[in-house]
A = this chain, B = another copy of it.
């Protein structure tokens, strides 16, 4: 039975994957997200036990789901909610009525719950699979952004190098309002040693197409690390490196996290002023198309 359930779950995931490629902002995507979240939450509630973790992050508490000694990643207790919150958000997302009807905090919690329930489900049922949770987060964000901007996603730009037209791959490129506004949006579960790439790509766009042609955003899930041996959670942050990137490489407009790392929160208070906010703020910052 458990095996059948998992196979049904992965079939829905495959449908989501194909759906995103076909039409990232169709209502089908919404029902796949809803179905996967519901199944993951109910599987975890019925089968997993809760393991309390030691938090090394001031102001944050974490737990982990566990089955037969296999532990999921660390889950932030304050952010993680239930299916009801996820449903409310997905409902409003489908009808393009987010702004004004749900608070920034609740949007953030809903995104966290949707992403982390699936991630924990995969952590436990397919140990070592980092790719499925990673792409799932990208799909959720792609759906949210393409809905918001009423624009189809692209991952490619063509730039001139010498006599060649060279095609480069970015995480997400959105062209809005008849090409009047363009966004370069990096989407990553966590940055680790890959943060420089975000500012590097933004600089390529600034130089190839002119400053301010592409507005640069980065959307991340979290920067937590769980030491499985001692059940201890830390946040891996490199604020000085980030400040150097913003100063010497390019200027990202805003960085949105679902679980905002403490060490990045106040980077807007001194030069070069990196603005880091929770994902829910996006809907109150950026006017809808």
Contacts and interface: CB of A to CB of B under 8 A. Distances in A.
A229 interface: no
Residue of A162, A193, A201, A244 contacting most chain B CB atoms (<10 Å) = A244
A68 to B, nearest CB: 22
A271 interface: yes
A203 B159 contact: no
B196 A166 contact: no
Interface residues of A, number: 31
A244 B162 CA distance: 10
A62 interface: no
A214 B57 CA distance: 38
Interface stretch (A15-23, A116-124, A245-253, A281-289): A245-253
Q: How many copies does the complex hold?
A: 2
Given A196-B196, A200-B200, A271-B161, A166 B240 contact: yes
B208 A248 contact: yes
Residue of A193, A197, A203, A248 contacting most chain B CB atoms (<10 Å) = A248
Contacts of A203: 203, 248-249
A244 B197 contact: no
Given A203-B249, A207-B248, A161 B243 contact: yes
The secondary structure that dominates the A interface is: helix
Nearest to A205: B248
Given A194-B194, A248-B204, A240 B199 contact: no
Contacts of A197: 193, 196-197, 200
Contact of A166 (B159, B164, B208, B243): B243
A249 B200 contact: yes
A45 interface: no
Interface string A158-194: 0101111011110000000000000000000000011
24 contacts: A159-B244, A159-B248, A161-B240, A161-B243, A161-B244, A161-B247, A162-B271, A163-B270, A166-B243, A168-B240, A193-B197, A196-B196, A196-B197, A197-B197, A197-B200, A199-B200, A200-B200, A200-B249, A204-B245, A204-B248, A204-B249, A207-B247, A207-B248, A249-B249
Given A161-B271, A207-B247, 10 more contacts: A161-B243, A161-B272, A166-B240, A166-B243, A168-B240, A196-B196, A196-B201, A203-B203, A204-B249, A207-B248
